[in-house]
């Protein structure tokens, strides 16, 4: 059993009580919820992907179109890490809260589908997903698994089974807009919720980082579980600066105990 400080334990109990009282709880997750599953984040000073790579050079739509070899060379190790990753206790705990009827929606900035692997059903993927690929030429969409497996093992770029065009992972690259339908759903969820939990996000990437403000503007409670403070630390009802993979399961256990 994880040992928490007295203050953290008090915050866990307080957050659990907010979940019990909530009617429309929404979760916003970022890269920090998946790092315990072995997936690197993008912005950490020493370990983030952008600490060693220039994002516009390797992860842009322009690079995919004009220098696909460079894009796929960068993407291959990340694809392997993401595709074979498994949910950690934080993902599983959120899925359990959803099964208990205490979470209405999960909005995620992640592309790893670990929420779905954990059992969560109502997930809005703001930055796309690794689960599918779409042909850049004829727009035929395919399930990613067989193509990613071959790509990871042989470094052979995936091509469309219909026209032979290059298959692009259905993730949002630099130079692409957020998926409109997902953005509208996320805004609606943020504006209608009475509780928002931000888990593993530094809230630095717009426009998603603005969603908690939309919730606050409509008098929702805001709680943050993250390794570092965010720009909304002063507005949060509670903030726990600790590992999401230990704190969120503790919140879930407390909710179950209180029920």
- The H or E element spanning position 6 is helix 6-21
The residue from 91, 115, 127, 221 that is catalytic is 127
Cα-flanking dihedrals φ and ψ of residue 97, to 5°? -60, -35
Contact call for residues 211 and 28 (beta carbons, < 8 A): yes
Cα–Cα distance between 158 and 165 in angstroms, integer? 9
Q: Is pLDDT larger for residue 153 or for residue 221? A: 221
- CB contact at 8 A, 111 and 127: yes
Q: Which residues pair with 25 in a beta bridge?
A: 195
Q: What are phi and psi of 235, to 5 degrees?
A: -100, -10
- Beta strand pairing call for 238-241 and 105-108: unpaired
Q: How many CB atoms lie within 10 A of CB 185?
A: 16
pLDDT for res 127: 94
Contact 92, 249 (CB under 8 A): yes
Give the angle 125-158-137 at the CA atoms, nearest 5°.
80
Q: Which two tokens stand for residue 189?
A: 């969820």
pLDDT tens, position by position, 17-28: 999 999 999 999
**Closest by CA position to 63, among listed 159, 144, 166:** 166
Q: Are the beta carbons of 240 and 81 closer than 8 angstroms? A: no
Determine the longest span between alpha carbons in the chain, in angstroms. Answer: 61
| Greater pLDDT, 39 or 257 | 39
Q: What is the pLDDT, as a whole number, of residue 44?
A: 46
Does the structure show a pLDDT above 90 at 224?
yes
Enumerate domains of the chain plus CATH numbers.
1-39+87-127+178-259 (3.40.50.1220), 40-84+130-171 (3.30.1600.10)
- Write the pLDDT tens digit of every residue in 172-186: 998 888 999 999 999
For residue 240, what are the β-bridge partners?
A: 225
* More confident site: 58 or 202: 202
Contact in structure between 225 and 200 (CB atoms under 8 Å): yes
Q: In the annotation, is 115 catalytic? A: no
95/252 Cα distance (integer angstroms): 10
Predicted structure pTM score: 0.91
Cβ neighbours, 10 Å, residue 202: 20
Q: Sorting pLDDT into bands at 50, 70 and 90, what band is 50?
A: very low
72 vs 48, 58, 140, CA distance in Å?
18, 9, 19
């Amino acid at each position: 059993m994880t040992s928490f400080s007295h203050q953290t334990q008090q915050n866990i109990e307080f957050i659990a009580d907010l979940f019990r009282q909530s009617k429309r709880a929404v979760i916003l997750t970022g890269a920090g919820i998946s790092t315990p599953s072995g997936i690197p984040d993008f912005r950490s000073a020493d370990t983030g992907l952008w600490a060693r790579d220039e994002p516009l050079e390797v992860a842009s739509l322009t690079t995919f179109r004009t220098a696909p070899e460079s894009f796929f060379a960068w993407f291959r190790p990340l694809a392997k890490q993401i595709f074979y990753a498994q949910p950690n206790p934080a993902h599983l705990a959120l899925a359990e809260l959803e099964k208990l009827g205490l979470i209405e929606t999960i909005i995620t900035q992640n592309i790893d589908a670990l929420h779905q692997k954990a059992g969560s059903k109502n997930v809005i993927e703001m930055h796309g997903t690794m689960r599918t690929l779409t042909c850049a030429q004829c727009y035929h969409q395919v399930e990613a698994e067989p193509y990613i497996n071959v790509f990871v093992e042989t470094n052979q770029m995936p091509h469309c089974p219909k026209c032979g065009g290059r298959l692009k992972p259905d993730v949002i690259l630099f130079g692409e807009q957020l998926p409109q339908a997902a953005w509208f759903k996320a805004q609606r969820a943020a504006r209608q919720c009475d509780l928002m939990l931000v888990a593993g996000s530094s809230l630095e990437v717009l426009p998603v980082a603005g969603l908690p403000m939309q919730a606050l503007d409509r008098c929702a409670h805001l709680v943050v579980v993250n390794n570092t403070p965010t720009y909304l630390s002063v507005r949060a009802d509670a903030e726990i600066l600790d590992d999401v993979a230990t704190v969120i399961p503790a919140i879930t256990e407390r909710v179950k105990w209180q029920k």
